[in-house]
Amino acid sequence: MELYLDHAATTPLLPEVQEALTAAFAVYGNPSSLHRKGVEAEQRVEQARTQVMRALGVNGGRLVFTGGGTEANNLAIFGTLHRHGGRGRHVVTTQIEHPSVLECFRALARQGWEVTFVPPETDGTVRADRILSAVRPDTVLVSVMHVNNETGALLPVAEVAQGLRGKRTLFHVDGIQAFGKIPWAGRAAGADLYTLSGHKVGAPKGVGALYIRPGLEIDPLLYGGGQEHGLRSGTENTLGIMALGVAAERVASQAAAHWRQAEALCDLLVQGLSVIPGCVVQRPVVASPYIVSASFPGLRGEVLVHACEAQGLYVSTGSACSSKGPKAHDSHVLRAMGKPAADVQGTLRFSLGPQTTRADIEQALQIVREQTAWLSQQLRVRR
């Protein structure tokens, strides 16, 4: 038995993507080559570009393929500030951003930029008026995630975009946990720049994209042959890009139906977790149904992860991108929400996918009940 509830970390390849990748092995030309093999590869890249932009719900502008969501976020932030830094030296973000955004702003602070980190409410949401009140005449960029990757909080990006209209401040949205889930996510956000990642929607790892609205110019981070509108030099990852195009088309066509399905399963999961002794569910007022955060004070999250894994249930403690290495730490998101240390250290993140069923949720709840009870008993015995 295998119950995979860690889709916010990564997703299995969609069957359509696997088929497309197998067929694409023959497309080995360099998209920059002028001969037939190169033209064929270029056409496949452009087809994928159209598919992704259609899935975003945007018209016009440019879509730049990158090596993943982290690179896309870095390009959006640093590329914008390199080009438009003459407007001021102030930027705004929130305290609950993904590390691929948060670390960019920390680096900017070290470089002399003035950074405002807007705090969340205690339930994990961030108010639009707090973000907009932080904007000043010298604010060059506001960067806000669409969906928080740990709590599922839906941030008010459309309201922020509306509030910034008519101002010189540019607006970037990290849409990595929203793309393919919120219908027409890019159009709904109304941002100047919008990022996405392939492996969150059934495409392989190592491919992402940045959408840039019409008329906006930013600087590249990588210089070379001028591929991807001159903003991401280097031979394109043709296979990955083609796979992302197929995945984008598939998830966009079913986003609304899958959202409704996830809402029902999320309600079942939240209700089931809420009655487990000691469990504290972190549920923002407005949240994505695909992500649920729950704490078990007194237990260690990493111990719970392995205890659940032993029973075939795969969950996580939070962001997979910051759970290892020299920057590993307890959740900065939960700490920003003011959660007690015991809650932070004992947190599990459950993240659903389109393939998740009611039976999966029921079985997962049974495993969590059994393992938390067993671990709590072991702690009492040791004391």
pLDDT digits (tens, 9 = 90+) for 79-114: 999 999 999 999 999 999 999 999 999 999 999 999
Domain ranges in the chain are: 3-9+255-382, 15-250
Amino acid at 126: V
Q: 211 with 146: CB under 8 angstroms?
A: no
First-residue to last-residue Cα distance in the chain: 34
Return d(Cα 168, Cα 138) in angstroms, integer.
9
Please name the fold of domain 15-250: Aspartate Aminotransferase; domain 2 (3.40.640)
> Annotated catalytic, 321?
yes
Tell me the pLDDT of the chain averaged across its residues: 93
Distances (CA, A) of 125 to 63, 131, 150: 29, 12, 12
CATH tag for 3-9+255-382 (out of 3.40.50.1220, 3.30.230.10, 3.90.1150.10, 3.40.50.300): 3.90.1150.10
What pLDDT was estimated at residue 201?
A: 97
Tens digit of pLDDT for each residue in 260-310?
A: 999 999 999 999 999 999 999 999 999 999 999 999 999 999 999 999 999
